[in-house]
């Protein structure tokens, strides 16, 4: 490996699209921590659909490190004018800062817009030493935050090793909880059901029978077959946004068109159809890469009991078993995932606060929060309803 601290220079680009797609994607690396959401096609679709710009409060500022003319590292970074669409919630931090006369916005965020999925956030070229480049980029982000007059830097849903590098560089560490399903060698859906005690297993079987009793069939659409489904995917997403008072529309139809065009290798639709005409009554948009599947958006046009569980969870689990995908991340939130064997899984983020008083107050808060999360994770595991030896 090269000494990555030598002969480096940094520049800041206005878009991920300013980096060649093959250059960007080569830096994604390999392994379980590489998600489809950092692919050039995914991020540039958000840019090209105008979801990331001044009027939406997401302003791309993409730091890249070069050695000579070769790009050796990059991060997807955004100047944020609010805290929406991040899912590592810091609204209370902003309120605390403002009550004490400290300006909180703008701030600098590293992450995937509107996507609460963990994975690598610091991209490095093959052969480069990440143990040197990640801290170097972390320091560069601190300097950029002050140059951009930002209050702070936030690296959301990063990997454990990235956060460890950043903690050594002076960042504060925050933990969270998501619910992830692990295949654990299951070769059939029956193997999955066998994890549960008899009471819970019977409950799940009742839920699994519901679609057939309601005259509903499920199908998965992927690859080239997605070509005519971009409007349907957007309508499913929009149905959930419009249904709930807390719903917030971050995406538009254009981005779904671009994802269908550019991300058909990773994107799929789970559709629930009813009646002789096969009317679509509900569906979910999933992505997958390597050994992981990700549930992203759910929507329904008609309400049916247990349909959400079947479309968003059970069908995804079935796909993982059949395709030997090891981990299924169905999205943020939802304690109801516990009783379906989605285990409480720790997530990591790292934070740099410019103001020393604000930094000290948040450091104390995070120390307490980490201890609470540790205790909650243990309690949640007990509530899963699986056999004690699984």
Q: 80-94, 154-168, 275-289, 372-386: which range is least confident on average?
A: 372-386
Query: Which pLDDT value is given to residue 383?
Result: 77
> Is the four-CA dihedral 214, 220, 225, 229 of positive or negative sign?
positive
What pLDDT does residue 335 have? 79
Give CA–CA dist 248/228, Å, rounded: 26
Residues 174, 47: Cα–Cα separation, whole Å: 28
**In the 8-state DSSP scheme, what is residue 29?**
-
Q: Which has the minimum average pLDDT: 14-18, 31-35, 74-78, 91-95? A: 31-35
Q: Positive or negative, the Cα torsion across 230, 260, 299, 210?
A: positive
What is the overall mean pLDDT for the chain? 94
Given a cut of 60, is residue 3 above it in pLDDT?
A: no
What sections of the chain are H helices per DSSP? 21-26, 40-48, 91-99, 130-147, 160-168, 189-193, 198-213, 230-243, 253-262, 307-309, 315-323, 356-382
Give the Å distances, CA to CA, from 338 to 89, 330, 351: 22, 12, 29
- In this prediction, residue 353 has a pLDDT band, given cuts at 50, 70 and 90, of very high
Contact at 8 Å (CB) between 4 and 72? yes
Return d(Cα 363, Cα 360) in angstroms, integer.
5
Strand, helix or coil at 54? helix
CATH topology agreement for domains 8-179+345-382 and 184-325 = yes
SS3 (DSSP) at 174? strand
Q: Where are the domains of the chain?
A: 8-179+345-382, 184-325
Task: Render pLDDT for 225-273 as a digit per residue (tens, 0 to 9).
Answer: 999 999 999 999 999 998 876 778 999 999 999 999 999 999 999 999 9
Q: How far apart are alpha carbons 172 and 359 in whole angstroms?
A: 8
Contact assessment for residue 152 and residue 352, using Cβ atoms and an 8 Å cutoff: yes
Cis amide prior to 106 (ω within 30 degrees)? yes
Residues 49, 95 contacting (CB under 8 angstroms): no
Homologous superfamily assigned to 8-179+345-382: Gcn5-related N-acetyltransferase (GNAT) (3.40.630.30)
- Write down the residue that tokens 């009991």 correspond to: 305
CATH superfamily, domain 184-325, is Gcn5-related N-acetyltransferase (GNAT) (3.40.630.30)
Mean pLDDT of 361-388: 89
Query: What is the model's pLDDT at position 206?
Result: 97
Percent of the chain with pLDDT over 70: 97
Average pLDDT over residues 358-370: 97
pLDDT at 31: 84
The pTM assigned to this predicted structure is 0.94
Across 303-329, average pLDDT: 97
pLDDT number for residue 381 = 85
CA pair distance 104, 97, nearest whole angstrom: 6
């Amino acid at each position: 490996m090269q000494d990555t601290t030598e002969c480096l220079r940094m520049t800041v680009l206005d878009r991920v699209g300013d980096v060649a797609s093959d250059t960007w994607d080569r830096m994604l690396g390999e392994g379980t921590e590489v998600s489809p959401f950092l692919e050039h096609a995914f991020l540039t679709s958000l840019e090209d659909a105008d979801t990331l710009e001044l009027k939406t409060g997401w302003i791309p500022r993409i730091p890249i490190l070069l050695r000579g003319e070769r790009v050796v590292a990059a991060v997807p970074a955004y100047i944020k004018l609010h805290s929406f669409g991040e899912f590592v919630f810091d609204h209370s931090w902003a309120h605390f800062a403002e009550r004490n006369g400290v300006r909180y916005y703008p701030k600098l965020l590293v992450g995937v817009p509107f996507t609460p999925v963990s994975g690598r956030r610091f991209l490095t070229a093959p052969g480069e030493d990440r143990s040197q480049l990640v801290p170097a980029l972390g320091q560069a982000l601190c300097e950029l935050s002050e140059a951009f007059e930002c209050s702070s830097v936030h690296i959301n849903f990063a990997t454990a090793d990235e956060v460890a590098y950043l903690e050594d560089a002076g960042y504060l560490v925050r933990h969270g909880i998501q619910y992830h399903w692990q295949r654990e060698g299951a070769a059939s859906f029956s193997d999955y059901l066998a994890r549960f005690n008899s009471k819970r297993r019977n409950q799940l079987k009742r839920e699994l029978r519901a679609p057939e009793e309601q005259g509903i069939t499920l199908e998965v659409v992927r690859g080239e077959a997605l070509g005519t489904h971009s409007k349907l995917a957007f309508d499913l997403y929009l149905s959930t946004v419009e249904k709930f008072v807390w719903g917030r529309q971050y995406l538009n139809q254009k981005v779904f068109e671009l994802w269908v065009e550019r991300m058909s290798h990773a994107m799929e639709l789970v559709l629930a159809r009813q009646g002789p005409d096969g009317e679509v009554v509900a569906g979910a948009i999933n992505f997958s890469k390597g050994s992981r599947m990700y549930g992203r958006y759910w929507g329904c046009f008609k309400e049916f009991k247990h349909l959400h569980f079947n479309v968003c969870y059970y069908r995804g689990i079935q796909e993982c078993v059949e395709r030997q995908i090891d981990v299924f991340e169905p999205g943020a939130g939802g304690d109801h995932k516990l009783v379906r064997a989605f285990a409480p899984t720790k997530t990591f983020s790292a934070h740099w606060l410019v103001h020393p008083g604000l930094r000290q107050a948040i450091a104390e808060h995070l120390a307490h929060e980490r201890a609470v999360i540790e205790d909650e994770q243990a309690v949640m595991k007990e509530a899963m309803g699986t056999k004690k030896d699984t």
